[in-house]
Structure 1
Amino acid sequence: MLVSNVRPWAAEPSDVYLDGDRIAAVTAHDPRRALEASDVEGRGRLLIPSFSDVHVHLDSTRIGLPFREHTGGPGVWAMMSNDRENWREAEIALPKRVAGTLERMIARGTTRVRSFAQVDVDCKLEKYEAVVAAKEKFADEAEVQIMVFPQAGILREPGTEKYLEAALEAGADVMGGIDPCALDRDPVRHLDSVFGLAEKYQVEVDIHLHELGTMGVFSTDLIAERTRALGMQGKVNISHAFGLGGVDEATTRRLVELFAELDISWTTVAPSITDHLPIADLTRAGVRIGLGEDGQRDYWSPYGNCDLLDRTWQLAFVNGFRRDDLIGHALAVATIGGASIMSRDVRRLSSLEDRPGVSAGDRADLVLVDGETLASTVMDRGADRTVIHDGRVVADGLKVLSVAESY
């Protein structure tokens, strides 16, 4: 398939040839070349890798439903309890909500997804199974990894661990953890369980870390110790971690070096808190960084709209990025950055100017989007998008082509 007259990462107009699920060649645009019926007319749009949402909770979504009053209280436990009280009473059944949310994400250019699926004594495997069903429904349109997630902790409620293990036995891709000190209040037992199950089922680890300051640093050091001891370099991700950069300069430098040494990646959702580790320093050190939307207009928060380009704007905004290269880097984090977390075969971003993913040999997971420059694309967030997954057009004009009618 030929993708004609596009500008890879806002460069000169080019013709991009696809062969199966790979980019075969990129040449200067030839306006005289006739297009076949299966070719794609780029119309001078930008060509970037497809978006990678590597931190999303598909299982708690209310996308497509009426807005409701936010009733959650402060803190993880209060928010989780609010979700428990309400998620079964939504206007549409959970499997349909989850599939509809994933559909909207694909339509806007996200074809790589790491979704969490809450597993506990309340929902058991019901939420996990809803995410599995959505993954299977859109298997031809997106790559989805599912992280089994103890949102309520592992130790606070007897029986939680057996449900986590059941989800891993059923095929979950990643083992999750959360706030070893603040929520379960026993970081050794919590992390022993997380890493023990990950080692048993040979899956990666992804830990939500909302803990701030020295407590967050303490938990991070425990995570790093286990990563090193078990030889799990390149198999551990820390999500959020928005307070690790607020202790002191020496601690910040040490943690950047520790993440780089052990290939521990970091996923941010671009929160308003700015005490996270510095993105530029992490990138220069070779640390993998990805972006996610977190909740999708759910019982935790009214934010989230299935468009990772919007969240890219937020990433640039909360970090005070104004220079074009920094805004372009935010876009690289939202696309190939997350892809390098989902698959360590995808090379990490090496600098603030690095713009990989649209060259010969790269996987043909691509988005065509309108814009003059990378910065203008992030600022304007246009709707003229064509989405390609594994060398096939799967969405156009904010609509997934395989879906006759959305809810």
Structure 2
Amino acid sequence: MTDTATTLRNVRPWGGAPADVTLSAGRIDAIVPHDPRAQQHLLVVDGRGRLLVPSFSDVHVHLDSTRLGLPFRPHTAEGGIWNMVMDDREHWRDAGMSVADRAAHTLGLMVARGTTRVRSYAQIDVDCKLEKFEGVLHAKQVHADRCDVTVMAFPQAGLLREGGTVPLFEEALRSGAQVMGGIDPCQLDRDPVRHLDIVFGLAEKHQVPVDIHLHEPGELGVFSVDLILERTRALGMQGRVTISHGYPLGGVSEPTTRRLIEDFAELDISMATVAPSVDTALPLVDLTEAGVRVGLGEDGQRDYWSPYGNADMLDRTWQLAFTNKYRRAELLEHCLAVATWGGATVLDPAVPRLTSIEDRPGLAVGDPAELLIVEGESVAAAVMDRSFDRTVIHDGHVVANALELIDGE
């Protein structure tokens, strides 16, 4: 792709007044009031009065397990993480399409719907070894000109239950894994100190951030979080630790909830939510106002773990608003800010975090040209309507339009 300047004509940044926005060298170069008589640049995208917002950042997706593009499959797994792991092991090789092809197909669908920044999990264990990890790396390469993908080495089956697991993570981190994952230190591996020592030890050795799946309930989850806080502080890993899910953490006492939010803010520990239908999640508004980085993700995509997921982060933004019982326009807009810029702050701690529900960042001169043009009377209406009339821009170039990928220039 060339660095020729591109002008987005007649767009409404965050639903404001019509503007003409010039992109150059992967950044927003200029924003001026829309002038129908202005001389057009060589490359012009007609916004047609649509909204301009930052593109989506999916900070929690399992490209390694997706079944999008394959026939619908009834869910067969029993409850509980280990039962799910075993069900996945029994079936994933019989999908009819390789992990690499499935991951690339789903990532393409995500880009076409407006996602240009991704953190994907890649399961590593003694069963699949590095096959799923390599499949996600393949998808990243296929769409390298359309989106930025960070790949996590993820111990979906734990680190301690099966011999020979940890050396596989060493190999993955030497082979391009950019994040070290962890999961339910108490419930799954049943040795939280050793589990977290391995996770943080490998992260420190390979100088990568940490992202820990946490489904553990109530006070047990708080116990695991306190061990994570302890290691974050001791190793100076502020801004490099994410807790994913964590949805039972708001179901404890109010003083404990407040203390957790304050600790997350102090240590710059971010949270990744998938908008679960629960009443025990830490309150989104309180997290934002405390300065905690929060991003949104789609989790699995119609895989062996769940029949949900459709590669559309605008749908998941609607779900975030719905599960939080939001109705006011500013809260619906805040959900979009979390799904776009909020996720970008999780992926890159150098990106300024959201600090209030009124923040609408990402569209100033100098900001990255990671953008989405979408139909909508207002931003709140766009979240509700979820129009397919979308134009997706990555690194200053149009990469998808009307849910179809664009090749080349």
TM-score class, shorter = over 0.9
Partner of 2:362: 357
What is the CA–CA distance in structure 2 between the aligned matches of 1:73 and 1:164, rounded to whole Å? 27
| SS, match of residue 153 in structure 2 | strand
Pair 1:120-2:122 in alignment: no
What is the CA–CA distance in structure 1 between the aligned matches of 2:101 and 2:283, rounded to whole Å? 39
Partner of 1:71: 76
Partner of 1:18: 23
Partner of 2:276: 271
What is the CA–CA distance in structure 2 between the aligned matches of 1:348 and 1:314, rounded to whole Å? 22
Partner of 1:348: 353
Kindly provide the amino acid, as one letter, of the partner of residue 387 in structure 1.
V
Pair 1:388-2:393 in alignment: yes
What is the CA–CA distance in structure 2 between the aligned matches of 1:313 and 1:81, rounded to whole Å? 32
Partner of 1:32: 37
Partner of 2:339: 334
Q: 2:314 aligns with which of 309, 315, 322?
A: 309
Pair 1:179-2:198 in alignment: no
| SS, match of residue 149 in structure 2 | strand
Partner of 2:298: 293
How far residue 31 of structure 1 moved from its aligned partner, in angstroms, is 1.2
What is the CA–CA distance in structure 2 between the aligned matches of 1:294 and 1:353, rounded to whole Å? 27
Kindly provide the amino acid, as one letter, of the partner of residue 197 in structure 1.
L
How far residue 35 of structure 1 moved from its aligned partner, in angstroms, is 3.1
Kindly provide the amino acid, as one letter, of the partner of residue 348 in structure 1.
R
Matches within 5 A, 1:113-192: 113-192=118-197
Q: 1:373 aligns with which of 374, 378, 385?
A: 378
Q: 2:61 aligns with which of 56, 59, 65?
A: 56
| SS, match of residue 250 in structure 2 | coil
How far residue 37 of structure 1 moved from its aligned partner, in angstroms, is 4.8
Partner of 1:198: 203
What is the CA–CA distance in structure 2 between the aligned matches of 1:274 and 1:167, rounded to whole Å? 37
Pair 1:283-2:291 in alignment: no
What is the CA–CA distance in structure 2 between the aligned matches of 1:106 and 1:148, rounded to whole Å? 22
Kindly provide the amino acid, as one letter, of the partner of residue 165 in structure 2.
T
Q: 2:87 aligns with which of 70, 82, 86?
A: 82
Q: 1:401 aligns with which of 392, 402, 406?
A: 406
Pair 1:2-2:12 in alignment: no
| SS, match of residue 322 in structure 1 | coil
What is the CA–CA distance in structure 1 between the aligned matches of 2:300 and 2:358, rounded to whole Å? 30
Residues 276-309 of structure 1 show CA distances to partners (whole Å, capped at 9, x for unaligned) of 1111111011000000000000000010000000
Partner of 2:3: none
| SS, match of residue 270 in structure 1 | coil
TM-score by length of 1: 0.98
What is the CA–CA distance in structure 1 between the aligned matches of 2:73 and 2:117, rounded to whole Å? 29
| SS, match of residue 203 in structure 1 | coil
How far residue 138 of structure 1 moved from its aligned partner, in angstroms, is 0.8
Kindly provide the amino acid, as one letter, of the partner of residue 83 in structure 1.
D
How far residue 69 of structure 1 moved from its aligned partner, in angstroms, is 1.1
Question: What percentage of aligned pairs have identical amino acids?
Answer: 65
Kindly provide the amino acid, as one letter, of the partner of residue 89 in structure 2.
R
Partner of 1:245: 250
Residues 371-404 of structure 1 show CA distances to partners (whole Å, capped at 9, x for unaligned) of 001111000000001010001111111111129x
What is the CA–CA distance in structure 2 between the aligned matches of 1:109 and 1:395, rounded to whole Å? 8
TM-score by length of 2: 0.98
Pair 1:46-2:76 in alignment: no
**Which 4+ stretches in 1 moved above 6 angstroms?**
none
Kindly provide the amino acid, as one letter, of the partner of residue 374 in structure 1.
V
What is the CA–CA distance in structure 2 between the aligned matches of 1:236 and 1:197, rounded to whole Å? 13
How far residue 34 of structure 1 moved from its aligned partner, in angstroms, is 4.2
Q: 1:93 aligns with which of 90, 95, 98?
A: 98
Residues 328-374 of structure 1 show CA distances to partners (whole Å, capped at 9, x for unaligned) of 00000000000001111211001000000011010000000000011
Q: Which runs of 5+ in 2 are unaligned?
A: 1-5
* Residue range with higher mean Cα deviation, 84-93 or 235-244: 84-93
Matches within 5 A, 1:101-116: 101-116=106-121
What is the CA–CA distance in structure 2 between the aligned matches of 1:332 and 1:300, rounded to whole Å? 28
Partner of 1:224: 229
What is the CA–CA distance in structure 2 between the aligned matches of 1:2 and 1:162, rounded to whole Å? 50
What is the CA–CA distance in structure 1 between the aligned matches of 2:314 and 2:56, rounded to whole Å? 8
What is the CA–CA distance in structure 2 between the aligned matches of 1:274 and 1:129, rounded to whole Å? 37
Q: Which runs of 5+ in 1 are unaligned?
A: none
Alignment RMSD, CA only?
0.8
How far residue 33 of structure 1 moved from its aligned partner, in angstroms, is 2.0
